[in-house]
Amino acid sequence: MKAARLLMLFLGVLVLAGVVWHLPTPGTVRADEVEELQKQIDELENLKQQSESATKPLESEIASLEKKIRSARAGVESAKKEAVELAESIDDRELDLAVQYEMLTLRIADQYKKARTFSPLMLVIASQDAANITKDLAYRNSVKAQDNKLVQSISSDIVQLEKDKQTLEQNQVLLANLQKQLDSQQAFFEEEVLKAKVYQNDLAGQIAALSARQQEIIAARSGGFTVSGDGELSDDSMGSINNFNATAPAGYFGVFSFGAYSHRNGMSQYGALGRAKSGQSYQQILSAYYPGSTIQTDYPAMDQITVSGVGSGSFEDWYLLRIYEVPASWPKEVLKVQAIAARTYAIRHTNNGQSSICTTEACQVFKNEPKGGAWAEAVAETRGMVLTNGGSPVLTQFASTHGGFTRTAGWDTTDGGGGSDLLTKAYERIGGSPWLYKAWWRQGYSSSGATCGRSSPWLSPEEMADIVNAYVVMKNGTGEELERVTPVTTSCWGGNPYSMSELRDVASKYGGIASAGSVSVSQGEGATNNVTISGVSMSGSDFCKAFNVRAPGNLRIPQWSGSPCGGAFFNVERK
């Protein structure tokens, strides 16, 4: 019965192994896709539990069987060894019996002859006295008795030898069959265990893929692309610090990003605007954002450039006139800075015309129609100017708003430092960037993006505690506990997330909190070092990840510096 139950359990595992899963491909996270993702997580977890229930007793039985097989195999080997020794003994005994048999034959023949020729009368005549007669008769009887014993012994040995031969032959057949049976059983169970392990490994791979998909959700909220300032950035006043101070209920929280959708390398376009408004020349602005570079006017730049999906044309008179990175209405000094940066970027990116360049913000924005106006003038006035270092073009990256700090040049402020007055002295504030300090809560980055049913970006004490509990579980929880840490707003993200009370119960095992009542934030060199909420301390990166994976609606910290939330620079305010 036990074997039958184990077989049924294992057949269940094999049936489960027939399930084929289709994981979503990476890309934009959709609500229906996330819902399907959560369903797959739940079903995979169910399969995982069934597989474990089926394989645990099977593995225990297999382990016991393997022990028995090892013992039986050792017995077989011992029996084989004894059989070999018996065979060698039989060979030796056959040789010995052959010699003894020959001697026995001679003695029997001799006894036969003596019996036929023996005459008591002749013995009396030949003997000198009665004593000799008695002695001779005793000798003859003794020899005859010894010969009879030898005959009996040899006959017995021959009979035993034949029995041993038969036993050896039977044992050899039995051992061969037993060895074949053991080999077959071992091969069967090894194959079945391998199937179970392959299935379990496949499950583990699928669960790992789903975990990677959860990381993709984080990445989707982390602003892993740049936005240029060609059009004035939309100003969503609902996410401003002024609106927080004016409308957020007491005790509520706001999470504000310093800059967004930026690699934070090279020039801040709104920072350049602020510097131009402060009276700086294009040379000063370029020096500030690309330290160590010089403007070279005689660089042997390419005459032609190939644009992916568009074609080829003159580098100066066709391509550069169609770059859309900053508004043509901005000051001429900013346009010159952008023209030189765009020219240098294209030369470096294409290896001076050896390869093509794309048309999007992944490279720099190109539209197949002249921009005209002041932009055309800036391109003409800087014709041939290239930023170089040691004779080679530098990497002139740029984005709209870095958040008062660049990874390549440091603080982008009027006094070159950070501090608590960062927002008052940042050149991006002078330039008027609405993204310098903002709470992100709408879909995308327009002021009309969907809000997922929320009326504001502000978080209640319970909602902020939920973010903290997400961090606690993400750091300390089991894989099974982590799977449901996703946004509670299923209307946008779907799935089967923990409710706030459910997550609170899970986090309570690891030091979670019921309500958030205090916050302190430690800032560093262009990055948030530490966030402490109601006694729970987190690194800036860890808080950012927990926030981006659990925050309700479309709330997020859209910062990416090489990895999701890497070097995230943000602040948490409490009303």
- pLDDT value, residue 137: 58
Please determine, for residue 414, whether its predicted confidence score (pLDDT) is greater than 60: yes
DSSP for 464-497, written as a single string = HHHHHHHHHHHHHS-HHHHTT-S-S-HHHH-S-P
Work out the burial of residue 41: count CB atoms within 10 Å of its CB; fewer than 13 is exposed, 13-18 middle, 19 or more buried: buried
Average the pLDDT over each of 187-201, 260-274, 486-500 and give the range with the smallest value.
Answer: 187-201
Q: Is the domain of 401 the same as that of 443? A: no
Q: Is the domain of 250 the same as that of 328? A: no
pLDDT category of residue 128 using cuts at 50, 70 and 90: low
Asked whether 533 and 527 are in contact (CB, 8 A), the reply is no
Q: Is the domain of 402 the same as that of 515? A: no
- Single residue among 391, 418, 445 that ends a domain in this structure: 418
Which residues, other chains included, contact 451 with Cβ-Cβ below 8 Å and sequence gap of 6+? 441, 442, 443, 553, 554
**Within-domain flag for 165:** yes
Which residues, other chains included, contact 326 with Cβ-Cβ below 8 Å and sequence gap of 6+? 228, 229, 230, 269, 272, 273, 334, 335, 338
- pLDDT value, residue 567: 87
Top pLDDT among 67 and 530 is at 530
What's the average model confidence in pLDDT over 471-494? 92
Q: Is the domain of 345 the same as that of 394? A: yes
Top pLDDT among 273 and 34 is at 273
- pLDDT value, residue 387: 99
**Within-domain flag for 361:** yes
Pairing of strands 311-314, 410-411: unpaired
**Within-domain flag for 232:** no
Residues in the chain: 575
- Single residue among 220, 245, 280 that ends a domain in this structure: 220
- pLDDT value, residue 52: 61
Please determine, for residue 553, whether its predicted confidence score (pLDDT) is greater than 50: yes
Q: Is the domain of 149 the same as that of 12? A: yes
- Single residue among 418, 448, 481 that ends a domain in this structure: 418
**Within-domain flag for 430:** no
**Within-domain flag for 226:** no
pLDDT category of residue 514 using cuts at 50, 70 and 90: very high
Please determine, for residue 458, whether its predicted confidence score (pLDDT) is greater than 90: yes
Which residues, other chains included, contact 46 with Cβ-Cβ below 8 Å and sequence gap of 6+? none
Average the pLDDT over each of 167-181, 191-205, 248-262 and give the range with the smallest value.
Answer: 191-205
Asked whether 513 and 469 are in contact (CB, 8 A), the reply is yes
What's the average model confidence in pLDDT over 273-282? 98
Q: Is the domain of 210 the same as that of 310? A: no
Q: Is the domain of 382 the same as that of 494? A: no
Domain count, the chain: 3
- pLDDT value, residue 118: 55
Instruction: Give CA–CA dist 375/321, Å, rounded.
Output: 7
Average the pLDDT over each of 159-168, 330-339, 477-486 and give the range with the smallest value.
Answer: 159-168
Pairing of strands 267-268, 398-399: parallel
pLDDT category of residue 2 using cuts at 50, 70 and 90: very low
Q: Is the domain of 316 the same as that of 459? A: no
Structural domain of 459: 237-259+435-574
Q: Is the domain of 18 the same as that of 162? A: yes
**Within-domain flag for 439:** yes
Instruction: Give CA–CA dist 440/449, Å, rounded.
Output: 11
**Within-domain flag for 503:** yes
What's the average model confidence in pLDDT over 111-126? 58
What's the average model confidence in pLDDT over 113-130? 57
- pLDDT value, residue 149: 73
SS3 at position 234: coil
Which residues, other chains included, contact 297 with Cβ-Cβ below 8 Å and sequence gap of 6+? 384, 385, 386
Looking up residue 204, the CATH number of its domain turns out to be 1.10.287
- pLDDT value, residue 467: 98
Top pLDDT among 187 and 433 is at 433
HEC secondary structure over 512-568: CCCCCCCEEEEECCCCEEEEEECCEEEEHHHHHHHHHHHCCCCCECCCECCCECCCC
Which residues partner with 294 through β-bridges?
388
pLDDT category of residue 28 using cuts at 50, 70 and 90: very low
Q: Is the domain of 338 the same as that of 389? A: yes
Please determine, for residue 20, whether its predicted confidence score (pLDDT) is greater than 60: no
- pLDDT value, residue 176: 72
Q: How distant, in Å, are the alpha carbons of 77, 183, 340 from that of 74?
A: 5, 13, 82
Question: How do residues 139-150 score in pLDDT, each as one tens digit?
Answer: 666 766 776 776
What is the overall mean pLDDT for the chain?
81
- pLDDT value, residue 25: 33
DSSP E strand boundaries for 288-356: 294-296, 304-307, 311-314
Question: Looking up tokens 């040789």, which residue turns up?
Answer: 95
Q: Is the domain of 67 the same as that of 207? A: yes
Q: Which of 17-26, 42-51, 113-122, 496-505 has the highest mean pLDDT?
A: 496-505
**Within-domain flag for 140:** yes
Average the pLDDT over each of 371-380, 432-441, 523-532, 552-561 and give the range with the smallest value.
Answer: 552-561
Q: Is the domain of 541 the same as that of 557? A: yes
Count CB neighbours of 54 within 10 A: 22
Tokens of 254: 């706001």
Please determine, for residue 214, whether its predicted confidence score (pLDDT) is greater than 80: no
What's the average model confidence in pLDDT over 184-197? 69
Top pLDDT among 387 and 149 is at 387
Top pLDDT among 428 and 170 is at 428
